[in-house]
Structure 1
Amino acid sequence: MRMGWGKILAVGLALALTGCGGREAPRATGDVVVNAPRFGDTDPHPWDGRDPSKYAVHGIDASRWQGDIDWRAAQANGVSFAFFKATEGGDIVDPAFEAYWDGAGRAGVPRAAYHFFYFCRPAIEQARWFIKNVPRSKGALPPVLDMEWNAHSPTCTRRPDAAHVRAEAKIFMDALERHYGQRPVIYTTVDFFADNQMGRIGNVDFWLRSVAGHPSTVYPGQNWTFWQYSGTGLVPGITGKVDLNVFAGSRAEWRDWVARRAR
């Protein structure tokens, strides 16, 4: 959906991300720049006080559906990190991945590539496909394993048992860690997390989806590093809706996390 800037700004007020304070001048430690978010939302959730505005570091995740992105504008308006869909299964590459990867890199936006897992193909084959298509770029964030149920898949609606899911996740992550030198992040959803007891997987940063409640409520007792809080966000530099995310800590903790986890 195409919107004029006036409408975007009006909707942005509805989200009211004022908890992060006013616009901060770009500050950098190495390649890390953090700006206060100037985002909107076409369908904002009525947060009850434990809302995304309490967090200082915001970012997006994108795939081909977001179209062309002006990375300088996005960064200036609060995109402090970005996740991009790179691969799916063992034979699909997102057609926007290369342009996003290069564009965000040139703008100095910390970036990570994610793989959408396919339950009808062995994990090691999918790991090799990801490695074939995602470069080892200097300064990149850890790769991401996206595991969720896909009831609408035209070719694979298989739902293996929880032990098998966790075993496949480990195979995939171990292969990527050997290649990239970074332990992958796991992205998942509320139902998938519960169905497969994903919290039993140790030594991993979780990126959790929860668009109608704080992760501490929706994933009780589970530590998390990234929270996807909206699927209907509006960001200057991006035409149409985009997913919005926060990092769990402060600006200083973000810079420290990037220093430790970026390659």
Structure 2
Amino acid sequence: MRKVFMRFSGVSAIVLGCVVLAGCTSTGSGVDEILAKPSLEMTSSIAKPDNIVPPAEIGLVPSNEEQSEEMTALAPSAPIPDAMVPMVKVPEPRPAAEPVALVVPSKPQVDTLEQRRVYRHRFRDAKPINFGRVSPKSLPVHGVDVSRWQGEIDWKRLRSQGANFVYIKATDGGDHLDPMFKKNWREAGEAGLHRGAYHFFYWCRTAGEQADWFIRNVPRVPGSLPPVIDVEWNGESRCKQNLPRKKVLEKMQVFMDKLERHYGQRPIIYTAPDFYRDNLKGEFLDYPFWLRSVAAHPSKVYPGRKWVFWQYSGSGLSHGVDGRIDLNAFHGSVDEWHRWVAKNVM
């Protein structure tokens, strides 16, 4: 049910009667129509568990148009000549309180010292791989990526297990918001993780509307990691269209340009081996990459490609999460991590 926040001050019966006669109504923002048909898409690297968390209700705040109409309804009427009414002291109207959803905390919720602390990873793997001398264990800064399929997460415990950063599933296509995004985004920040959001790209939707949808749902928050575009072929998608390489690159560029203008950060490209081979080899050399490679080091699967993050497991196990979770590592030392964060966070 659509929720509109209204607050009435002490208004005379005359003014209220005028408002009723004027037929003041609030106009809808159209969000209900956009959210009416949620997508069934999911990142292919995460298996769908049996105990699916039901979607949470997404609260709505008044649009600018609705707030304008609200203030019009609460405004005092035009002054009445003194000769027509006796002098009566009318109590001053109380200022309308801001809706809670629009109040921005005056102080950051996260202690900067806690964010700078790097925890040694203690993750396990349900399907361990012998990576040899170039094992991800040799990299000191590890993190995770999550979506609704991880359910309820104990973020403080996950942080202590070695999750120094997290990328959180935010949106798919042009009309689907992960129902756990807002909760995960808030709680990950409160636990002291560096956090960023990622978008699963649909090849049957325009790039512009997908960028608008991501921007609409992912806030511009100081300290956030750069946004991520997740590009891969997904056999479970209802959109079976595999576009020509040229068209793929064009759509990606439109999406990334729009995000970069809005957030002031160059987006990171997440991809998998088959999609990279078909479309991205030799392309976007000035963009940071996040590479999925769960059977070998990225240098073997993506020869010559520079990368920032390596997703080395889709079957990770950790305290704080029920079931499996994707594991990632940053390409560099602890000092290099701090320098990269200082340069790239919002």
Range of TM-score over shorter length = 0.7 to 0.9
Structure-2 change in CA distance of 1:140 and 1:46 (3 Å): same
Name the amino acid aligned to 1:33: R
TM-score by length of 1: 0.87
Name the amino acid aligned to 1:159: N
- Checking the alignment, whether the CA contact within 8 Å between 1:146 and 1:187 is kept in structure 2 is yes
* 1:106 alignment counterpart: 190
After superposition, the C-alpha distances for 1:74-123 in whole angstroms (9 at most, x for unaligned) are 11111000001100000101111111100011111001100000000110
Moved more, 223-232 or 71-80: 71-80
- How far is the alpha carbon of 1:238 from its aligned partner? 0.9
CA distance in 2, matches of 1:82, 1:41: 18
* 1:87 alignment counterpart: 171
After superposition, the C-alpha distances for 1:31-75 in whole angstroms (9 at most, x for unaligned) are 322100011111111222211101000000000010111111111
Name the amino acid aligned to 2:232: E
* 2:301 alignment counterpart: 218
Name the amino acid aligned to 1:131: I
Do residues 250 (structure 1) and 329 (structure 2) align?
no
CA distance in 2, matches of 1:199, 1:54: 27
TM-score by length of 2: 0.67
CA distance in 1, matches of 2:114, 2:178: 29
Name the amino acid aligned to 1:231: G
* 2:154 alignment counterpart: 70
Name the amino acid aligned to 1:128: D
Name the amino acid aligned to 2:271: T
Of 129, 136, 140 in structure 1, the residue corresponding to residue 224 of structure 2 is 140
* 2:125 alignment counterpart: 41
Of 272, 277, 282 in structure 2, the residue corresponding to residue 189 of structure 1 is 272
Name the amino acid aligned to 1:140: S
Of 152, 167, 177 in structure 1, the residue corresponding to residue 250 of structure 2 is 167
CA distance in 1, matches of 2:344, 2:311: 20
Structure-2 change in CA distance of 1:84 and 1:143 (3 Å): same
- Checking the alignment, whether the CA contact within 8 Å between 2:232 and 2:271 is kept in structure 1 is yes
Structure-2 change in CA distance of 1:137 and 1:45 (3 Å): same
- Provide the alpha-carbon RMSD of the alignment: 1.6
CA distance in 1, matches of 2:164, 2:244: 37
Identity %: 51
When Rg is computed on C-alpha atoms for both structures, the one with the higher figure is 2
* 1:19 alignment counterpart: none
Secondary structure of the 1:202 match is coil
Do residues 151 (structure 1) and 239 (structure 2) align?
no
* 2:212 alignment counterpart: 128
CA distance in 2, matches of 1:86, 1:48: 34
After superposition, the C-alpha distances for 1:193-239 in whole angstroms (9 at most, x for unaligned) are 01003431132110000000000011001100000000000111111
Give the number of equivalent residue pairs.
238
- How far is the alpha carbon of 1:143 from its aligned partner? 0.4
Structure 1: any 5+ residue segments left out of the alignment? 3-27
Of 310, 324, 339 in structure 2, the residue corresponding to residue 227 of structure 1 is 310
Greater percentage in strand: 1
CA distance in 2, matches of 1:62, 1:127: 20
Do residues 176 (structure 1) and 269 (structure 2) align?
no
Secondary structure of the 1:31 match is helix
- Checking the alignment, whether the CA contact within 8 Å between 2:114 and 2:192 is kept in structure 1 is no
* 1:17 alignment counterpart: none
Question: More relative contact order in 1 or in 2 (CA 8 Å, sep 6+)?
Answer: 1
